[in-house]
Structure 1
């Protein structure tokens, strides 16, 4: 079988990785990715062809929102047939949210989408940008029998490739900024790339890519804490137009058993608001009914987020609400793994 050089599309949305420093003024400015090979000649050693496309106005990831998620998804949709893999350069602060959202939006994805970024600009002496970029492109170009090895939305940072919807940013200053507490890394970068094939998502082939662009943002996150008041909970749950809540509870899904709290939750569910129970711990899973403090939530019909991350939980909620999933099956579908986001 003749080996074909993969075509990789590099999509720059913004973020530190796309910045270079003006050493006279010290100011950061956007890097022209058309000159990518001049800036990083090492890319010529990769066995693939690279093309680039940038947002007209690169954004700080703090300004990332579903409108931009749709733009990224549409770029992938438009170029899907012509390219074998996609690398999305993105600011690190909201990268896990974007990776999670894209995983749900890109149904039947059969090619790699790798999100990456950096903690330092590409021109800094000790930058992590070059390694992250080079290895992300390398990972996106991995093939066996002229077929992509990676066939899902992933996130690469500091020598590890993770399933995108399993990641959380844990550090604002360390190069190892991300972690996947409840799922192993897919690829480890050392002297060689070690692919953990058993953990890769294996979507069914021969299905066309479907890009879902309707996301419902009438959602919110409530993080419980000792002393949270009835006034606050009532105010949030009575937000006009609210359709879904991700509730970060304690430990394995536990909460206060105060009557006012349970009554407010029960009333919200009765009004058709979907409430997802996830743990506020960095790792672990919700097991409703394991303790008395979560047994009542289970009986009320709270949805178990199992071991899903906060980022994936809110994005999955936006996605399913945008699909107008029937209330009768919403809980069942949410508690089912759609893109490997939960057990």
Structure 2
């Protein structure tokens, strides 16, 4: 009996990977993904069936927002039973935000959702688009005993597969645009495709997919810097309908110990606004109470983001606010790894 080929759905949201250059004028124009196999015949070598769907009006990823996240999630939801894996083509600038958001929205996900894109358009001579696209589809189609090997939201770029909610875009010019500094690579593409099975996320396969579409974007981010004034905090903390503030602190979660700052943090938490402490550093973790300069935050009830990325912190905050849970539950769930986003 011949095994059935995996069915992969390619979802195009926009971005550089979906552009092709008109060599007469030099202008970039949108690529018709319905003609994908004609333009990239190498895809026919993959042992899978590929179908495509595109946003009605593809967007630059700088315009990405929670409404589009819901749109992507609904495409996956509507096609979940018909496909074995999903590859999402997305502009690189906000890809880590979207990958993080989808990781929380797709509860009990048991199939691969791979985000990828490129630094150069698909038709350029030195483009990274073809390799990123081909390998992402290959990874999404990999199975063992008829079941997908990858069962989480990932991001593939320049020979590396990462857990999506662990990534950050670190370079606007190099092909190696992303990094996952607090979690190992899930796979590496070289002469052979090596899957690091010990680092893969293992969901509860007995539960059905649940798509969480309620996201609350009434949040703000404050990045600490030496000399930041009380007026900056006051202006942000007084925003109407504000529900949570992510503060990027120094090092392992440290901050100024000036009285005005600690008082303002305490008063804001007492009003029911969640305050989350994450580090400005690309790698490493918040350890509140490790130094005296973070002990006051811990005492005030500030939530520890541990080693979460800024992108995942934003997505997780919107997701938990959308669940309409109590303040105590919010803190407990935030400090718990829900999708492998913290160590």
TM-score interval, smaller chain: over 0.9
1:23 Cα deviation from its structure 2 partner: 1.0
Shift of 1:3: 2.2
CA distance in 1, matches of 2:2, 2:122: 36
Q: CA deviation at 1:328?
A: 2.1
* Matching residue of 1:74: 74
Unaligned runs of 5+ in 1: none
CA distance in 2, matches of 1:305, 1:103: 17
Q: Measure how far apart 1:326 and its partner are.
A: 1.0
User: When the two structures are superposed, what TM-score results if normalisation uses the length of structure 1?
Assistant: 0.99
- Equivalence for 1:318: 318
Structure 2 stretches lacking a partner, 5+ long = none
Alignment of 1:243-282 (within 5 A): 243-282=243-282
2-structure distance, mates of 1:27, 1:227: 46
Counting matched residue pairs gives 343
Question: 1:235-250, aligned counterparts within 5 Å?
Answer: 235-250=235-250
What is the CA–CA distance in structure 2 between the aligned matches of 1:79 and 1:194, rounded to whole Å? Answer: 28
Deviation at 1:206, TM superposition (A): 2.0
Query: What SS does the aligned partner of 1:29 have?
Result: strand
Q: Distance in 1 between matches of 2:321 and 2:86?
A: 27
Mapping of residues 47-196 of structure 1, within 5 Å: 47-196=47-196
After superposition, the CA RMSD in angstroms is 0.7
The alpha-carbon deviation at position 2 of structure 1 amounts to 4.7
CA distance in 2, matches of 1:75, 1:168: 25
Please give the TM-score of this superposition, normalised by the length of structure 2: 0.99
Q: State yes or no: 1:284 paired with 2:284.
A: yes
Q: Write out the 4+ residue segments of structure 1 that deviate beyond 4 Å after TM superposition.
A: none
What secondary structure does 1:276 align onto?
strand
The equivalent residue for 1:223 is 223
1:250-303 CA-to-partner distances (Å, cap 9, x unmatched) read 000000001111111111100001011000001000000000000010011100
- Describe the superposition over 1:17-53 as per-residue Cα deviations: whole angstroms up to 9, x where unpaired: 0000011111111100010001100000000000000
What does the per-residue CA deviation read over 1:174-203, in whole Å, with 9 as the maximum and x for residues that have no partner? Answer: 000000000000010001110000000000
| Deviation sequence 1:237-257 (CA, Å, 0-9, x none) | 111100001110000000000
